Structure 1
Amino acid sequence: MDHAQQSQYDAILFVSFGGPDKGEDVLPFLENVLRGRNVPKERMLEVAEHYHHFGGKSPINEQNIALIDAIRQELSASGLELPVYWGNRNWHPLLADTLREMKSAGVRRALAFVTSGFSCYSGCRQYRENIEQARKAVGPEAPEIDKIRVFFNHPGFINPMARNVRTALDSIENESGEKESGTPVLFTAHSIPLSMADSSDYCKQLQEASRLVAEQAKISKWKLVYQSRSGPPTQPWLEPDVCDAIRDLHEQGESGVVLVPIGFISDHMEVLFDLDTEAADLCQTLGMKMARANTAGTDP
């Protein structure tokens, strides 16, 4: 953003998914997330246990605070004096409450950065709908909000991910202490229903982001896989699942794997549980070495 663009806006709105801060927040948070969706209660309780495994606190909140602080520092270093507000889709601070605060502060028009970098209903359009719902709740004098484009192919995302993949690859050593050559890399992203995927560029953008990272990191063996599906078993979702892909690599004689959470900007609960816990446990059971690349976080 340059100074001419700054004159169009009074503030930055940082928009994220939200997450619980303590155990008693977990079920109300998940009820917000799953409202209106055909997700079995058993699956909701299963996901709740993932949060309770980490004390009922999502890592997303502290990471969002770090991202917001990095944005403020970057704006200040560029000579752009804009306040940064934070509003979530599913948990406090909720979007409507944040827009009320912005209205009270005299904000008329803000530029929204959404932490989801890929286009699909749940990752893009639903955020726009939530922003409009929040504006309606605030009333006719609610700030106007313009959303920044998805960042799946932006150098500020691709470059740190490529560095993180190289670091993860270099951390896997064979028994002689030499670096592995040709260790397979699995890029992972949140699975979504096929019906949602077919009506968006989600898969295309994930493939492009993975290709750009693989090209920059000089990776020869890679594949895009999915994780964290939550719908009913009868509903088709994007596959293969990351754990199934790991089993396939083991059957093919691979001794190690690098997991790259390309679909996430920071270490969400899905990263900590599905990759660092479930996938790591599977690799240990199979006798495979595993390294997980860091998410971009505040690196861009």
Structure 2
Amino acid sequence: MSEFDALLVLSFGGPEGPDEVRPFLENVVRGRGVPPERLDAVEEHYRHFGGVSPINARNRELIAAIRERTDLPVYFGNRNWHPMAEDTVAQMARDGVRRALVFATSAYGGYSACRQYHEDIARSRKAVGDGAPELVKLRHFFDHPEFVAANADAVRAALATLPAEVRDSARIVFTAHSIPTAADAAAGPSEEGGHRYSEQIADAARLVAADLGVAEHDVVWQSRSGPPQVPWLEPDIVDHIEALHAAGVPAVVVAPVGFVSDHVEVVWDLDNEAADRAAELGMGFARAATAGPDPRFADMVVELIAEHTSGAPERGIGSVPRAGCTVNGEPCAVNCCLPARRPSCPR
């Protein structure tokens, strides 16, 4: 097998103090024409949590867990906030890293979930120049058995917090970040080998529900932004909670299967907006944890590494396509995961 001498954990990034919020958001939307008033609204969400997103802390915890499981040096870089990917790749070059694997903290295909990480890799290598290490991005993992099991157990734990009288009739609702419907369609249907984000989300939800033994579940969306005239994936989580209430459902467990760790969108949209609306309606509400803190998630990352370093078999139990590894920021296909309209959603 080919030799690799490091792992780069590549993520979205988030502020770690009030003074970092606005610069972070400006990085997220740079060049996209997002009006200042939209940033003002999102900035308030961050300030509700003291200007700190949980995402960097969760990633550092993941890195510590990976380091316990592998001898490879593990580096940390972000798209939008420190440590920036360009700076990290430069440090890797100074440390003599020549060939590294890249674990991007998204399980799925699509522009923001996958192709934009290819762009991050290519941009970072270009910034470093001729001495940049070769970077090989690990595959999608939405249907990996460890990811599915961690999400299923998180739902079980959330269900256990509901009052006994509504627990058995609670509806399991899976959520993921909404994207424009045109961007989702741009990936192509799965029967043509596409990596359509919405299909992968639905497959992951199906697998988790099957692990739970749940006959029925819902897949809904959250965190949409952009002009109201642009169609995005629906229904929205809050609208769906209202519809479930109207249908007589007494309680809901919300499982953010589209996210691998908490960040401000998860804790604001679900723990505040969705939870508050359920409380107003008198519904039982529980939010499942994301999979990232579960020890099996780090185990999975090490398995993905082993596919490249020791020829370990590729494990996946889904029914829709996923992309394999990519090198130096080149996407797995020329037209894979192209956005019809570049997303403009600050987290």
Give the structure-2-normalised TM-score.
0.81
CA distance in 1, matches of 2:214, 2:291: 18
Q: Does 1:125 align with 2:115?
A: yes
Q: Residues 39 and 235 (structure 1 numbering): CA distance in 2 closer, same or farther, change over 3 Å?
A: farther
The structure 1 residue matched to 2:102, chosen from 112, 130, 133, is 112
**How far apart are 1:264 and its partner, in Å?**
0.6
Distance (Å, rounded) in 2 between the aligned partners of 1:219 and 1:270? 27
SS of 1:205's equivalent in the other structure is helix
Q: Residue 15 of structure 1: which of 10, 13, 25 is its match?
A: 10
* CA distance, structure 1, for counterparts of residue 80 and residue 229 of structure 2: 26
Identity of aligned residues (%): 53
Aligned equivalent of 2:134: 144
Is residue 198 of structure 1 aligned with residue 188 of structure 2? no
Partner of 1:209: 204
Q: What's 2:93 paired with?
A: 103
Query: Does the aligned pair in 1 maintain the 2:166–2:284 contact within 8 Å?
Result: no
Partner of 1:166: 156
Superposition RMSD on alpha carbons, in Å? 1.2
The corresponding residue for 1:294 is 289
Q: Does 1:281 align with 2:276?
A: yes
Residue 38 of structure 1 deviates from its aligned partner by 4.3
2:77 matched residue in structure 1: 87
Q: Does 1:66 find its partner at 2:61?
A: yes
Is the contact made by 1:182 and 1:220 (CA closer than 8 Å) also made in structure 2? no
Q: Is the 8 A contact 2:166 2:250 kept in 1?
A: no
Shift of 1:178: 4.3
Measure the CA separation in 2 of the matches of 1:42 and 1:232: 13
| Per-residue deviation, 1:255 | 1.1
CA offsets per residue over residues 12-47 of structure 1, 9 Å max, x none? 000000000111111110111111224333222111
More contact order relative to length (CA 8 Å, sep ≥ 6): 2
- Structure 2 contact 177–221 (Cα < 8 Å) conserved: yes
Q: Structure 1: which amino acid aligns with 2:174? A: F
Deviations 1:93-146 (A, max 9, x none): 001100110000000010000001110111100110111011001001100100
Question: Does the Cα contact within 8 Å between 1:70 and 1:298 map onto a contact in 2?
Answer: no
C-alpha contact (below 8 Å) 1:38/1:232 kept by paired residues: no
Unpaired stretches in structure 1, ≥5 consecutive residues = 76-80
What secondary structure is seen at the aligned counterpart in 1 of 2:140?
A: coil
Gaps of 5+ in 2: 188-195, 297-347
When structure 1 is superposed on structure 2, of 33-42 and 205-214 the one drifting more is: 33-42
The one of 230, 237, 241 aligned to 2:232: 237
Question: Could you say which residue in structure 2 is the equivalent of 1:221?
Answer: 216
Displacement, 1:222? 0.9
**What code does the residue aligned with 1:150 have?**
H
Q: In the alignment, is the contact (CA less than 8 A) between 1:109 and 1:144 conserved in 2?
A: yes
Cα distance in structure 1, aligned partners of 2:285 and 2:251: 6
- C-alpha offsets along residues 239-272 of structure 1, whole Å, 9 cap, x if unaligned? 1000000000000011110100001111111111
Asked if the contact 1:243–1:282 (Cα under 8 Å) also holds between the matched residues in 2, the reply is yes
Amino acid at match of 1:148: L
* Local SS of the residue matching 2:102: strand
Runs in 1 of length 4+ with deviation above 4 angstroms? none
